[in-house]
Chain A
Amino acid sequence: MTSTMTRPRAEARPGRGGFGRLLHAEWTKFRTVRGWTLSTVGAVLIICLVGLLATAPASESHPNGSSALPVGPDGEAVNDNFYFVHQQLRGDGTLSVSVSSLTGVVSTGPTDSKAGLAPWAKAGIIVKDSLDQGSAYAAMMVTGAHGVRMQYNYRHDRAGRSGAATQESPRWLRLRRSGDTLTGYQSADGSRWTEVGHAHLPGLSATPQVGLFVTSPSVKEGTGTGTGFAPAVATGSFDEVSLGGRWTDGSWQRGQVGRDAGTSGSYTQDNKGGATVSGSGFRVTGAGDIAPVVAGPATSGVRTIENFLVGAFAGLIIMAVVGAGYITVEYRRGMIGVTLAASPRRGRVLVAKALVMGSVAFAVGLVAAAVMVPFGGVRSKANGFPVLTVPTATELRVVVGTGLLLAVASVFALGVGTILRRSAVAITLVVVGMVLPYLLAAASVLPDGASEWLLRVTPAAGFAVQQSVERYDQVVTVYAPSSGYFPLAPWAGFAVLCAYAAASFGAAVVLLRRRDV
């Protein structure tokens, strides 16, 4: 492919054809070494093969079963499980309520439980497109420890007044629909209202489900051996439920949205969801969450797309061997003398090599990832493991990022190989620099703090570009390398790797110019 791209350039501009011809010469060198072409094809196959192992069928039925996770409006997997007291209401209108308490029960064993409330337990009012999981919504709520919030479409979270709701100082919540826009208000007394935020829900049904909800994710608890999550339920007391605008009172229906509590919590033997009428309102008990699914101990049976790309480590080692060998073999065979005699501008020789090597490695990563991401997903689902759906843009970033990862790693190896002129040591430096920190961090050999620093300052930071899972402030999990969260944002981590590659490549150019062959 590269040859068809470079050849016309060399012929079309004979005056400036120097670099085109150089590129062509380097491509010919690469293409005609059988070991390198075989390694390139082998790298694609190995990335796919190792990735397939990661989707191996379960020998026993997994607790999470084959249930697919619902997908939210933005294309990401979500939890959408809560107890709902609702009615279908047409047109524009307002719903107001006061929440006078939010309490919870955490189960500590199969039969034991204690009082306790998840920080992100939620009790409030919601306008939801339909009762289907993953449908669009906007909600105003009181939370366990984060005050009043307005949340919509799973990912979005806006803070209102802080503090807990109590009998003495209840929290008043209001949602107003006007076309596709929902506005959330809060109040301390039910008469003076302040806006918390508004949500635009394009295409919201003319007759959405409107009502009261309670849900509670499981509670994170530190134990001697690590972090555990205990199932929890929450109970909220609602008073002064009132409808306004064109919304008029019908009969309230009750029910659980989602079969059980999803990946974020669960009911126990003693604690089931339910609602009872009390005075002018309701007492509602529920568990689950209305939030994006995040990776972590609670979702151990759920696959992420980067799981299918684990073979990239093997592919990376192969491309590092080829990348380092691409230059060191010239030293060993004395070919470098011929190369530099033919094109005395040494920096350009190295740039041509980097372009050829980088393009080949990019193609390897791109092809393998483009095959493995969809194929791994299909196979994983078939084998009973749900896959964490991510937006298409994220998927694209992971696939292209895998190609870029291999490209930059191979250029890094080429640079180090030029500096050291010994491929074995160069390969070791590159592979150990990239793979060992990742291994130490992901296997939780080191404490979390040390792991995070390793993934910030070593070339292994580049693997962040493969991270498909996102962080959300409103979802509690273990945001650590062991659950797939890199300390740096995807492109920032990749930039760290690029900096290493650029530094080694720069040093290589300088040394190649200064040194005798």
Chain B
Amino acid sequence: MKAPDVPEGRMTRAGRAEWTKLRTDASNGWLTLGMIALTVAVGAAVAMTSRCDATGCAGDPARLSLTGVMVGQVVVAVVAALMVGNEYSTGMMHTTLTAMPRRLTVLCSKSAVLSAVTLVAGAVSVLGSLLIGRLVQPGRGFTEQHGFAALSLTDAPTLRAAVGSVCYLVLIGLLSLGIALVVRSSATAVGIVLALLFVFPILAQVVADPDWQRHLRQISPMTAGLAVQTTVGVDDLPIGPWQGLGVVALWAAGAMAAGGWLLSSRDA
């Protein structure tokens, strides 16, 4: 490594520090690879088991091949929670905050590094899933005769589904990071994130009243956020695709704000 001639900006240095921390923990590499593999594998499994037998079948090829995002998001949440939780459990947080006393800088650099990593891993897994869908689905009845063109990023809804899924993964990472900063423990943070993601949709399934059901789906981070993957029957969604992503963004912003505020106001 060559020593920088010009003194680097504070943000750049902080970002580099976070990147080094993330990169040098071997488990993060495995987790990221695992996230890509899981996302693509689950998407492929769903693409290979679902089928469309007639025109007007209820399938949504883009959404089906992106089902793996539901599993991938969990790994993203774990990486994010570990990024903070590990520092607290090992006492590394003291070092980090001594080196970078401006706590908002720490928050920004952590979230920037996490977002960048998730963006890349998410893009790889989403593109991989769509590619498999494009290859497999025509053989499963998603053909021109049944009203489905092969998946392609030139198709506006499919592009939206792809970009939206990557954004969704980034937002889930930030949500998890924020919660981990609030609870300062990776285990608790993961528990809370998983409960937020999974309990809402299960609850929405059993709620008796249709209005309650719709509202639950609108505020649930997972159901609302993954609305962005829908390419068929967008009008029937409880919330619009981009608005749904907005709901996740609000959750993530809320968690980050709470985490940031506690990080700067609390003793480490």
Contacts and interface: CB of A to CB of B under 8 A. Distances in A.
Interface of A: 35, 50, 53-60, 62, 224-226, 301, 303, 307, 310, 313-314, 317-318, 320-321, 324-325, 328, 332, 380, 383, 385, 422-425, 427-428, 431-432, 435-436, 438-440, 442-443, 445-447, 449-450
B186 A423 contact: yes
Interface of A is mostly: helix
A55 B54 contact: no
8 contacts: A62-B208, A303-B208, A321-B188, A328-B187, A383-B208, A425-B27, A431-B198, A440-B70
Centre residue among B56, B67, B203 by max chain A CB count within 10 A: B203
B63 to A, nearest CB: 8
B57 interface: yes
A333 B158 CA distance: 49
A432 B74 contact: yes
B199 A428 contact: no
B211 interface: yes
Given A59-B211, A423-B186, A424-B82, A53 B203 contact: yes
B104 interface: no
A504 B57 CA distance: 41
A439 B220 CA distance: 14
Contacts of A435: 194, 198, 202
A446 B207 CA distance: 21
Contacts of A385: 208
Interface in B182-226: 186-191, 194-195, 198-199, 201-203, 205-209, 211-212
Contact of A59 (B67, B78, B209): B209
B124 interface: no
Nearest to A435: B198
B46 interface: yes
B58 A226 contact: yes
B198 A321 contact: no
A450 B46 contact: yes
A478 B261 CA distance: 50
A423 B205 CA distance: 30
Contact of A318 (B58, B77, B191): B191
B243 interface: no
Contacts of B186: 423-424
B81 interface: yes
Interface string B148-161: 00000000000000
Contacts of A440: 67, 70
A443 B58 contact: no
B49 A313 contact: no
A425 B78 contact: yes
Interface in B25-69: 27, 45-46, 49-51, 54-58, 64, 67
B89 interface: yes
A310 B206 contact: yes
Given A54-B208, A317-B194, A450-B49, A428 B78 contact: yes
Contacts of A53: 203, 207, 212
A317 B191 contact: yes
Given A224-B56, A225-B56, A427-B187, 10 more contacts: A54-B206, A56-B208, A60-B211, A224-B57, A314-B199, A317-B195, A432-B71, A442-B202, A447-B50, A449-B49
B213 to A, nearest CB: 9
Contacts of B77: 428
B50 A58 contact: no
Contact of A313 (B74, B81, B198): B198
Contacts of B64: 445
Question: Lowest 7 CB-CB distances: which A-B pairs, in order?
Answer: A423-B187, A321-B191, A224-B56, A424-B186, A450-B49, A307-B206, A424-B190
Given A424-B85, A449-B49, A58 B208 contact: yes
